[in-house]
Each structure stands twice: as C-alpha cells, then as structure tokens.
Amino acid sequence: MTLKDYIWFDPTKCLIGGNWVSPQNGDYIPLINPSTGEELCNIARGQSGDIDAGVSAARSALDGEWGRMAAPERGRMLLELGRLVLTKVDELAHLEALDVGKPLKQAHADVIALARYMEFYGGAADKLHGTTIPYLDGYTVYSLREPHGVTGHIVPWNYPMQIIGRSVGAALAAGNAAVLKPAEEACLTALAFGDLAMQVGIPSGAINIIPGLGAEAGAALSSHKNVEHISFTGSVDVGSLIQTAAAQNIVPVTLELGGKSPQLVFEDADLEAALPFLVNAGIQNAGQTCSASSRILVQKSRYAEVLSLMADRYNALQIGPALSDLDVGPLISQRQKKIVDGFIEKGSDLEKIASGKIIADAPLGGSYAVPTLFASHDCTHCLAQDEIFGPIQVVIPFEDETEALAIANGTDYGLVASVWTQDGARQMRTAKAIRSGQVFINNYGAGGGVELPFGGVGKSGHGREKGFEALYGFTKLKTVAAYHG
C-alpha cells in the first residue's frame, strides 16, 4: 500500500480563503516516510506572502459570514466535521502512519481523538457565556466572552491530528478564524482536515492551512501584526522565540513545550495495574510525546521488582514500520534518531536494564531507535533531566515520600505526573505537592481525554488546552457596566 491508496487531495497546496492554492514563490519541501526514508510527496514551502494571504483571509472571514454565524450553527458545523472524520478513519490513520511513522493502531486512536475534539467543541460552542456581576446600586454589570479574532496555530509533527483538534477546534468553537502552520516533517492529516472542513461547509477563510518551514512560515505567522493569539506546541527553544515575537505585538500565547513526566510508584502500589502504564507511557509514539513518562520513580523496597517486570516488557518489544503495526515505529526523522541515539550513548555510565528489538526486515532507510530501559541512582543525570523525545525510560529509586517529591519536582518541567499508591491520604498529599499541570492517581493518561484541561508549569509552558479551559483561553472577556439609576 502506498500514499496514493489513501490520499484524496493535492498535498502540494495551501488552503487559503477556501481555495487550494500553490505557494506564491513555487517552492516545495519533500515529505519523508520515516519507516523507509523514501520520499512520500512534496508539500508547499509557504513563506511570508502566503502567511499574509492566510491572515487576510481569516480577517475577511471574521468580517463576513463566519463572524456573523451564531454559536449553535458554528457548533453544528464542528459536529458535522467530527462525523465526517469518522467516515475517513482508515484513510486518515494510514496517512498519519505513513507521514509520522506511528504504528497504525496508534494513528487510528488519533483519528478518533480528532473526531472527539470536534464533538466536544462542537457541543460546547453555544455554552460559552459570560456572567452577571453584582455591583453598586443602580448598575447592571455583565461580561461577554468574545473571540480574539485571527488565531495562529503552530503545530508539531508528533500528534498532528490531536493537536489540531484541541487547538483549532477550540479556537473555531469560540468564534475565531484560524491560520494553521503544520510541521514540515508531517502535515498530510492537517491538509486532509482542511479538505474535510471545506466539505462540511465551514465558511471560506475560517480555516487556512499553510505548510512551510518553521524559520520561514512559522516565524512569519508568530510575528504577524494582525494575528491576535498564538498557540504553539513544540520545543522550549522555539516556544521562547514565539513568546518573544508575540511580546512585540502584545498578543497572548499558549505554549505547550513538553516535559520530563514522572510516575511515582510507592511500596503499596498495585504493580499489576501499574505495569502497562509504566511502560506504555514511555514508548507510545516511540516516546515522541510531550506527556511521555520518561522517569519512573520507585520506592526502594520494590525497586528490583519493578525493574525486572519492566525489563520483561522491554525485552519483548518489537520495533518496525508503521504499517506493520508493532509496539514501536520509527522516529520522525534521521535527525531525531541522531538525538535519541546520542542519549543512549550518554547513558553508558548508567546500568542498561533491557532493550527492545528492531525486526530483521525493517527497511534500512527507516529512522529506528532501540527502546532502552536504564536504572539510575543519579537523578541529576541528563537522561533523568532532559526531554529526550525517544523511547528511553530511566528508573530511579527513592527512600520515602519526601525524597520522591523532591525528585519528581527536580526538573525544569511540569506537564504530567502519576502516583501509584493505595493510601488515600498519600494520594491527596502527593497530588497537591507535585509541580505539574496534570496529576493522575493510579493511572496515567498521557495528556488525558479531550475534556481534561492540559498544560504545563515551568518550561513545560503556560496556558491550558483541552476541556472548557481552552475555550476560555481562546476568548477575551469584556465587562459591560450599565448605570440605570
């Protein structure tokens, strides 16, 4: 099976103002299949002129049909889009598997998540309202939630459908018009999403999609004077550039920048229940997940047992092409593989506990990294501190709750954490004490469902996506104070 068996749109175009157009300067970027290293197709190398056109189209949509559309009608369109996504599960999952390299069943789950975002935000569009505020005698005061206007969305390659769903879905539900810059490494499902949005009749210009390089199209979007909110998911370095660009124009930003998420396993934990979460949260999407759990903290009395159980799972892991649908697929690129292999080398002074196996007939050009489990007594080691974005986990022992919390909170990040214990008081105490945007108790949600507000503290970023919080983030609040005596 090849790309042409699943693609139904022209991947070389940009979606601007409801039209599929070629990039203004006629430049293209090759899109690589990470499972084989072969070229899948070309995509547009959009630049500042294309971004200008996208931002103008979004503004026209807000000044026209889209801006005037009542909230229930906007909601109905998103619900319809969710239904259409579900009729294309097979095509979308294959496009994502070919483009991102993720095993087919994981790509399939992402399609379902995209549909869920449309359902959730479609249903929420007409439930986003202000409040009345008691004030002085003779006044009636109320607040209005208004869209920011043109919103810019810069999306990474690891979960295109999920990140587009949570960010563009919430922005549209709140009445904004979106300009989306997908990642240059993976943008087929972004373009597919644009085509489906046109099919359900979302007015021209409400969604504009311009592929291109980060330093060109991405930088042009984040610094554009007529963009009124920026939503970014990706690396800390680029997040910092985006926040700087937004500061020049004084516009709000939502930054989701990854993490070093810990799972804390206390001696009274139900290990049978915990084990699948401990490992899966580290290897899902080959560890290229912002909420990957790359640190497993275990109380000393059960340390050897957890290492042995996790080692059994690692030793059985199979790595191969996305369409073979094994446990782990390739990394997104040879560049990412070099980074991850570099971390495995840096772990040579730690104890290597176990590793998975790349299948014998995996294509040589694929960017496969070997999932590797390390034990470390040093929580300051770079493998226990840096976001790796690969299938590597470090297991660290702790003596007691105080030490567990100190280690858990001892990185620059704070996105997701989990606590495995049967002790109710400890569950509550540790959930409060962990510095993180989400804490799971006796489970690990890898970001959780579409309903659960998600975002970080520290270098994991700021602002909240998902759930109703995201809708609030995509609006500005106006207070109206009427004096009537």
CA-wise closest residue to 388 among 255, 263, 292, 256 = 292
Q: Is the CB of 79 or the CB of 383 nearer to ligand NAD?
A: 383
- Residue 47 region, left (φ>0) first, then alpha (ψ -120 to 50), else beta? beta
The footprint of ligand NAD on residues 244-283 (CB under 6 A) is: 256-258
Q: Smallest distance from the beta carbon of 96 to ligand NAD, in angstroms?
A: 15
Q: Judged by CB under 6 A, which of 12, 35, 167, 222 binds ligand NAD?
A: 222
H/E run at residue 140: strand 139-147
Using CB atoms, what's the residue nearest to ligand NAD?
214
**Does the footprint of ligand NAD cover residue 437 (CB under 6 A)?**
no
The C-alpha atoms of residue 161 and residue 165 are separated, in whole angstroms, by: 6
Which of 45-53, 101-109, 113-121, 149-157 is the region at the interface with ligand NAD (rule: CB under 6 A)? 149-157
Q: Smallest distance from the beta carbon of 270 to ligand NAD, in angstroms?
A: 30
Q: Judged by CB under 6 A, which of 33, 106, 151, 158 binds ligand NAD?
A: 158
- The active-site residue, picked from 14, 187, 290, 379, is 290
Q: Smallest distance from the beta carbon of 227 to ligand NAD, in angstroms?
A: 12
Q: Judged by CB under 6 A, which of 22, 226, 235, 318 binds ligand NAD?
A: 235
Q: Judged by CB under 6 A, which of 70, 133, 144, 215 binds ligand NAD?
A: 215
Q: Is the CB of 210 or the CB of 322 nearer to ligand NAD?
A: 210
- Using CB atoms within 10 Å of the CB of residue 280, give its burial: 0 to 12 exposed, 13 to 18 middle, 19+ buried: middle
The footprint of ligand NAD on residues 309-368 (CB under 6 A) is: 339
Token look-up 């100190």 returns: 406
**Does the footprint of ligand NAD cover residue 193 (CB under 6 A)?**
no
Which of 6-14, 114-122, 176-184, 295-303 is the region at the interface with ligand NAD (rule: CB under 6 A)? 176-184
Task: List strands edge to edge, sheet with 372-375.
Answer: 351-355, 372-375, 392-398, 295-299, 262-265, 416-420, 438-441
Q: How many residues bind ligand NAD (CB under 6 A)?
A: 26
Name the DSSP letter for residue 415: S
- The active-site residue, picked from 185, 228, 256, 465, is 256
In the beta sheet, which residues pair with residue 441? Answer: 419
**Does the footprint of ligand NAD cover residue 219 (CB under 6 A)?**
yes
Is 256 an active-site residue?
yes
**Does the footprint of ligand NAD cover residue 184 (CB under 6 A)?**
yes
Q: Smallest distance from the beta carbon of 335 to ligand NAD, in angstroms?
A: 8
Q: Smallest distance from the beta carbon of 106 to ligand NAD, in angstroms?
A: 15
In the beta sheet, which residues pair with residue 459? Answer: none
67-72, Cβ contacts within 8 angstroms, sequence gap of 24 or more: 67/175, 67/177, 69/203, 70/126, 71/125, 71/126, 71/128, 71/175, 72/125, 72/126
The footprint of ligand NAD on residues 280-309 (CB under 6 A) is: 290
- Cβ count near 9 (within 10 Å): 16
H/E run at residue 358: strand 357-358
Q: Is the CB of 155 or the CB of 350 nearer to ligand NAD?
A: 155
How many alpha carbons fall within 13 Å on the CB side of residue 60?
A: 14
Count of residues making up the chain:
485
The C-alpha atoms of residue 176 and residue 309 are separated, in whole angstroms, by: 49
Q: Is the CB of 119 or the CB of 185 nearer to ligand NAD?
A: 185
In single-letter form, the type of residue at position 191 comes to: L
- Using CB atoms within 10 Å of the CB of residue 303, give its burial: 0 to 12 exposed, 13 to 18 middle, 19+ buried: buried
Q: Smallest distance from the beta carbon of 150 to ligand NAD, in angstroms?
A: 16
Q: Is the CB of 106 or the CB of 222 nearer to ligand NAD?
A: 222
Residue 372: which residues within 8 A CB-CB, separation 6 or more?
314, 344, 347, 352, 354, 355, 356, 391, 392
**Does the footprint of ligand NAD cover residue 35 (CB under 6 A)?**
no
The C-alpha atoms of residue 420 and residue 270 are separated, in whole angstroms, by: 7
Active-site residue set: 256, 290
- By the criterion CB under 6 A, which residues form the site for ligand NAD? 154-158, 181, 183-184, 214-215, 218-219, 222, 233-235, 238, 241-242, 256-258, 290, 339, 387, 389
